[in-house]
Amino acid sequence: MTVVERRLFRQEVLDAKRIALSALIFSSSLAMSLNAGTNFQPGSAFVPDPYRCSSSPNVGSYLDRVGGNRKVFVLGELHGTNEASSVLFSLVCKGAGERRDVVIGLELPDEAVRQAIVYAKTGDRGALERSAFWLHAKDGRASLANLRLISSLLRSGVPEYRIFGFDIRVTGKEAFGPESAAWIRDYLTRNHLDREATLFLLTGLGHSDFNAGDNSLSNHLIQNDRTVLSISLQYTGGAAWNCRRGDCRPHDVAKECSEGTKSMSKPVAFGQNQLTASYCVGRATASPPAIDALH
């Protein structure tokens, strides 16, 4: 081994130790912060009503029941509700409370996530107005709920680089599943995040479904050698703020589960590293576009 090779090897060892120590410190501090409930860190004070860790029955109870390493929990949502972001936050609470190395991905452009982080930390409304996504998207993803989610994750101690967006579509005609899965893999690599980290992803129902072909994010994550639990969020009725055939406003949500059944179904395995479940979150409440709700 040459002198240069020995130096490179020592540097790689030091980098590996640094990353491992960083992950340990992060998971421990995040768990303490989340378990404290209201003991949030300073900052992110410009988005009202941060989410709190929920003790809803069965939320997160299947984290330990999903076998294998490199786990991914994909929440399939109806865009434009408050409930989806709240459930995801509770899952992250559960994961961090068990000292897991967690990473959170949202079906937003990564640029939009970066601008949301700037707004949450500084209150600079221009950060949102400089983002074409926050300024113009009306499909329910640029919601106040998603902005609250990003702010709440920051307040609870999640480092910025552990929150990212994985929607890289430009024309809307791209194959969402393979391109988003590749982006997620590359993001973890670029940011030196542990390949064994537990991923929590929030996306539309059409992308969480294993049977959605090239639109299925879940299916292509399996091809990246991950164990995926796809959780479909269901509602007892209510409303969601999104666009339907160009009509952008609060729309009624169909009743998919019974009142009083706020719980998760038992995961069903139907393929290698594939599990699916549903979670009845109760009545949906509409979350308007963040840019319109913030004054």
pLDDT level of residue 42 (50, 70, 90 thresholds): very low
Q: What is the average pLDDT across 270-294?
A: 90
Contact status, residue 143 vs residue 240, Cβ threshold 8 Å? no
Query: Cα(169)–Cα(179) distance, rounded to whole angstroms?
Result: 8
Asked whether the CA dihedral 67, 218, 74, 26 is positive or negative, the reply is positive
Instruction: Decide the pairing of beta strands 268-271 and 198-204.
Output: unpaired
Residue 223's pLDDT is 81
More confident residue, 125 or 40: 125
pLDDT tens, position by position, 190-237: 998 877 788 999 999 999 999 889 999 999 998 877 889 999 999 999
Contact status, residue 188 vs residue 103, Cβ threshold 8 Å? yes
Helix/strand/coil (H, E, C) string of 42-96? CCCCCCCCCCCCCCCCCCCCCCCCCCCCCEEEEEEECCCECHHHHHHHHHHHHHH
Q: What is the separation, in whole angstroms, between the first and last Cα of the chain?
A: 62
CB atoms near residue 173 (< 10 Å): 7
Tokens found for residue 189:
């690599």
Structural domain boundaries, residue 145: 3-293
pLDDT tens, position by position, 47-101: 667 788 765 545 556 666 666 667 899 999 999 999 999 999 988 887 776 666 8
Longest CA pairwise span in the chain (Å): 69
Contact status, residue 149 vs residue 79, Cβ threshold 8 Å? no
pLDDT level of residue 37 (50, 70, 90 thresholds): very low
Query: Cα(116)–Cα(184) distance, rounded to whole angstroms?
Result: 19
Secondary element (H or E) of residue 89: helix 83-97
Mean per-residue pLDDT over the chain, rounded: 81
Contact status, residue 222 vs residue 274, Cβ threshold 8 Å? yes
Tokens found for residue 165:
């967006």
3-class secondary-structure state, position 32: helix
Residue 104's pLDDT is 96
Domains held by the chain: number: 1
As separate numbers, helices (DSSP H) first and strands (DSSP E) second, the chain gives: 10, 9
3-class secondary-structure state, position 229: strand
Tokens found for residue 31:
């768990």
> Which segment, 30-39, 91-100, 108-117, is predicted with the most confidence on average?
108-117
